[in-house]
Amino acid sequence: MIDRSDVQAAAGRVAGHVRRTPTVEVEPGPLAPTARMWLKLELTQHTGSFKARGAFNHILAARDEGRLPETGVVAASGGNAGLAFAYAAARAGVPAEVYVPETAPAVKVARLRALGAAVVQVGTRYAEAQDAATKRAADTGALFCHAYDLPEVCAGQGTLGLEVLEQTGGEIDTVLLAVGGGGLMAGVAAALEGRARVVGVEPVTIPTLERALHAGRPVDVEVSGVAADSLGATRAGEIAFAVASRAGVRPVLVTDEAIVEARRFVWREYRLVVEHGTAAAVAALRGGAYRPSAGERVAVVLCGANTDPSDLA
């Protein structure tokens, strides 16, 4: 479990290591005719996604506490978390070994290697890569870096929420963001608890949060669809489930068709290239899965840009 104080501590720790990304107000019409709208441009973060925040907080906390071994770090990732851990590890002066599914996009695998990480491709699902990484960390004594279910990782991601609150003058009612394993959602919900609501958007093909809240605990789901490379966790994290339950996070589901359309919309309307997973948050507005009330003040997190833009032409 994490709370706002953990996120505030993370903000102090990662200051100077991560970018304070822009939050820009946009005309509401194309997204929601009667709401006031902001976009949080987290796609401009180091390594192209919000994951750098949690990676730095986890690795720097371990270093500060004398828990960062010379053997470095081992991570499991569909791509974005691995990039972030590889980047943060390099800045901390330790090696990184990253396990990814065989289905990980080639662009992400190439970037991992460019950052100096040793890349191991295992299985076709994130869960298989995670099992292999967990065993490797235990065998080598390396610091294990879970993509979304560690307190320092979740708290680090939540620093994004503190920025949104500051950059909008505290005028936010709702934050929409995509959910995979739930680390970003957990951190932002903890940061904004009592100040703004969080809506977690998932593909209908990977409803980890929705199923967990319905079942009263995280449960396994099948993973498929256009956003599986970045939102392809088999189940929601324990921390994500606990924070979502406590903070009243609302899950909404969007179709693959809506995600594809939303990604093209973001490029057409704002000239921003985002991943399919990122586009899920926009799809909730474009397709009507979430309809803001009149005058509602809404921030949409554009959380990642590690994608092949060739199909946007």
Degrees, nearest 5: CA angle 232-162-52:
45
Domains of the chain in start order, with CATH, are 4-50+151-312 (3.40.50.1100), 51-145 (3.40.50.1100)
CA pair distance 99, 150, nearest whole angstrom: 17
What is each CA distance from 275 to 35, 134, 230, 304, in whole angstroms? 25, 27, 8, 6
Q: Residue 308: is its pLDDT beyond 90?
A: no
Q: Which of 252, 307, 309, 236 lies closest to 285 in space, CA to CA?
A: 252
pLDDT tens digit sequence for 264-276: 999 999 999 999 9
Instruction: Give the pLDDT of residue 157.
Output: 98
The total number of residues shown for the chain amounts to 313
- Name the token pair of 40: 């949080």
Q: 209: closest CA among 191, 192, 233, 190?
A: 233
Alpha helices in 65-204 (DSSP H): 80-92, 106-114, 126-140, 151-167, 183-192
**Residue 77 pLDDT class (50, 70, 90 cuts):** confident
Residue 222: its pLDDT value, please?
A: 94
User: Side chain identity at 102, as an amino acid letter?
Assistant: E
Query: CA-to-CA distance for 45 and 22, rounded, in angstroms?
Result: 10
The 10s digit of each residue's pLDDT in 161-179 is: 999 999 999 989 999 999 9
- Comparing 68-82, 133-147, 236-250, 293-307, which segment has the lowest mean pLDDT? 68-82
pLDDT tens column, 113-155: 999 999 999 998 777 888 999 999 999 999 999 999 999 999 9
**One-letter amino acid of 77:** S
What is the reported pTM? 0.95
pLDDT value of position 78 = 64
Q: Is the pLDDT of residue 209 over 70?
A: yes
**Residue 153: what pLDDT?**
98
Q: pLDDT tens for residues 291-307?
A: 999 999 999 999 999 88
Residue written as token pair 């948050």? 281
Mean pLDDT, the chain, as a whole number?
A: 95
CB neighbour list of residue 71: distance below 8 Å, 6 or more residues apart: 94, 95, 140, 141, 142
Tokens standing for 82? 């691995």
pLDDT of residue 135: 96
